[in-house]
Amino acid sequence: MRTRVGIVGAGPAGLMLSHLLHLAGIDTVVVERRSRAAIEATIRAGVLEQGTVDLMRRTGLGARLDHLGLVHRGFELRFAGAGHRIDLEALTGGRVITVYAQHEVLKDLIAARLAAGGDLRFEAEDTRIEGIEGDAPVIRFRHQGQETVLDCDFIAGCDGFHGVCRSAIPEASRTEHLRIYPFAWFGILAEAPPSSEELIYASHPRGFALVSTRSATVQRLYFQCSPHERAESFGDQRIWDELASRVSGPGFTLRTGRIFQKSVIPMRSFVCEPMRHGRLFLAGDAAHTVPPTGAKGLNLAIADVYLLARALIDYYENGRTFGLDAYSATALRRVWRTQHFSWWMTSMLHRFEEAGEFDRRRQLAELDLVTGTVAGARLLAENYAGLPLD
């Protein structure tokens, strides 16, 4: 079997890359370990930047997004007992965010690829990549009991943080940067009406909390917890009490309801450099992860493949390799800016056990700076709403 671009992983990065290349007439095969049903049911990100939304609309993926997505023109930072609104739209000259769950994006992408006759191999086992340093790389995998060899011009490693592609780059040819935070997020989904019209990021002496949403009847909430916490060990009442204590404010009532999903999400910052080795190109979480505080992981994955698709299209249409050669350095510039932003949001809003009173006061001063000055608020708003894709 042969294709031009073999893609490992059917997450946002792999599927969007396949979609963008298809629109330019370039064939791909996507090899994915999990089932379609599992992918379409996994709860992860929820916030789309303006650039991600614009790209989805421009490429024919806007219908359900425009129907179900919730446009948010600002968000709230809450600390020292008071809320402060960050007016994204006013501070960025019109950019906003859209709350639309990652698995809904994946449903849209999978439906579009299948409607166009795309080749998606779900439930592939034992995926390996070979020959990335030569001209004829291959992806080997087992699918429906059959050993399959996929010959490719290029391989896109879009297989997430725990995938196999990154480790195909010889250790001597890559550098990995990792920071693990001394806390995690406890995330829930609950059947409840929204407590707030906009997201609330709360910094509280007991720790960080985030009030997000999914729809008029389903809410997404998070609070900082120990990285060793187990989701099952927290009873529902204790969860609501913990959340309520951290997000309380004048005139604010947290709306509660049946909790139907609980998970503990580790917090890490990770970058692998370079993002290309020979004919292997890494994109998305396979190359980098950010703590979720800045809501950037999915958006960064989309930005990577937007760049990679442009470079591959230029190669196939015009025979130019400039974009492919520049891919890693160009992508990494955005990656490191996003790493900085995600680390900054995380360190500004979380409780650090070892921090003393000086550090706590410094955190409050920083929050005062970003809510109390136009320059500070704009820096936060521009990065949160997202840098343009081009």
Smallest gap from Cβ 170 to ligand PHB, in A, equals 35
Active site residue 201: yes
Of 100, 292, 315, 350, the catalytic one is: 292
Q: Name the residue type at position 326.
A: A
Active site residue 292: yes
Among residues 78, 113, 166, 220, the one that binds ligand PHB under rule CB under 6 A: 220
SS3 content of the chain, % helix, strand, coil (to 5): 40, 30, 30
Of 181, 201, 222, 306, the catalytic one is: 201
Binding track over 236-275 against ligand RFL, x by CB under 6 A: -----------------------------x----------
Contact 108, 55 (CB under 8 A): no
Q: Is 293 a binder of ligand PHB (CB under 6 A)?
A: yes
Beta strands in 100-253, from DSSP E residues, in sequence order:
119-121, 125-130, 138-143, 146-151, 154-157, 175-191, 200-203, 209-213, 218-225
Smallest gap from Cβ 26 to ligand RFL, in A, equals 19
Q: Helices then strands (H, E): number in the chain?
A: 11, 20
Contact 161, 285 (CB under 8 A): yes
Among residues 118, 284, 291, 386, the one that binds ligand RFL under rule CB under 6 A: 284
Q: Name the residue type at position 106.
A: L
Among residues 247, 295, 370, 385, the one that binds ligand PHB under rule CB under 6 A: 295
Active site residue 316: no
Binding track over 14-33 against ligand PHB, x by CB under 6 A: --------------------
192: Cα separation from own chain's centroid? 25
Residue 80 CB: number of other CB atoms within 10 A? 11
Which is closer to ligand PHB, CB of 77 or CB of 132? 77
Provide the edge-to-edge strand list for the sheet that holds 146-151.
125-130, 138-143, 146-151
Cis status of the peptide bond prior to 12, with omega within 30 of 0: no
Q: Is 292 a binder of ligand PHB (CB under 6 A)?
A: yes
Residue 273 CB: number of other CB atoms within 10 A? 18
Of 296, 315, 327, 350, the catalytic one is: 296
Among residues 46, 83, 163, 284, the one that binds ligand PHB under rule CB under 6 A: 46
Q: Which residues bind ligand PHB (CB under 6 A)?
A: 45-47, 199, 210, 212, 220, 292-293, 295
- Residues forming contacts to ligand RFL in the complex (CB under 6 A) are 8-14, 31-34, 39, 44-47, 102, 124, 127, 158-160, 163-164, 187, 265, 284-285, 292, 295-299, 301
